[in-house]
Amino acid sequence: MFSPEGPTLRELAVQALSSVEHGYDLLAPKFDHTPYRTPDRVLDAVASALAPMGPFGTGLDLCCGTGAGVDVLARVCRERVTGVDFSAGMLEVARRRPAPPGPEVSWVRADARALPFGAEFDLVVSFGAFGHFLPRELPGLFGQVRSVLRPGGRFAFPVAAPPRPGSPGYWTLLGFDAAMRVRNALWRPPFVMYYRTFRLGDVGRELARAGFRAQLHALPEFGRRPDGSPRVRLVTARRTA
């Protein structure tokens, strides 16, 4: 699962006993060698799905980490692209990477739950970070995203179909979330990371409540499940007036 350049088991354990912010500070130098970085295959599929909806002017990568989503934005935005994350360590790695060609790129350290921007973005994307938010935080988080979008602007993120109940993937995620709940009951500070709490039905409802009109787009690169449903979808949510 991890390449030789990735973190050791001990390093992962220390990270998991830290807060989310400090945990990512510790992991940052090796983050790009872990499976937690969104794979290029997903980034490419999202960029292809967004391209016909653009071009966009300004873009924000929410919880950007080392900048996976900034590369997507650079392909579909013309003016300016910003990555925002609360881990100083992740941003340091992002800043050291060669800037993608195209729009001006900047990095901002801030909590996604209190974004320091006005309504200045045409597109907000986010990859691999929603597990760090509790379901009760979604209304506030989506409200923040709405507040930084221009009227008519879009919020876009990929969502994988949950593994079928009883499948090995199902038991793996169930086990991970259960272990995390035990860890958080016994240890402070908490490390919020749950795989099974970000459910498409709840997300659609919360987006509508926050003032978005959401659409689902199958990402054909990932195929379909035996029941015909897409394995991975892109959610695009348009800021309503």
Interface positions with ligand SAM (CB under 6 A): 20, 24, 36-38, 63-65, 68-69, 85-87, 90, 111-113, 127-129, 132
Whose Cβ is closer to ligand SAM: residue 69's or residue 103's?
A: 69
Compute the least distance from the CB of residue 166 to ligand SAM, in Å.
27
DSSP letter (8 states) at residue 231: S
Burial class (CB in 10 A: 0-12, 13-18, 19+), 215: middle
Pairwise CA distance, residues 104 & 118, whole Å: 18
Backbone φ and ψ for 157, nearest 5 degrees, come out as -160, 145
Compute the least distance from the CB of residue 84 to ligand SAM, in Å.
7
Whose Cβ is closer to ligand SAM: residue 25's or residue 122's?
A: 25
The CA-based angle 35-27-97, given to 5 degrees, is: 80
Compute the least distance from the CB of residue 111 to ligand SAM, in Å.
4
Whose Cβ is closer to ligand SAM: residue 113's or residue 164's?
A: 113
State whether residue 51 is helix, strand or coil: helix
- Which residue's beta carbon is nearest to the bound ligand SAM? 65
HSE value, Cβ hemisphere, 13 Å, CA-based, for 227: 6
Whose Cβ is closer to ligand SAM: residue 68's or residue 149's?
A: 68
Peptide bond into 55 cis (omega under 30): yes
Whose Cβ is closer to ligand SAM: residue 75's or residue 213's?
A: 75
Compute the least distance from the CB of residue 94 to ligand SAM, in Å.
9
Compute the least distance from the CB of residue 190 to ligand SAM, in Å.
12
List, in sequence order, the alpha helices (H) in the chain: 9-16, 20-31, 40-50, 68-76, 88-96, 138-148, 168-186, 200-210
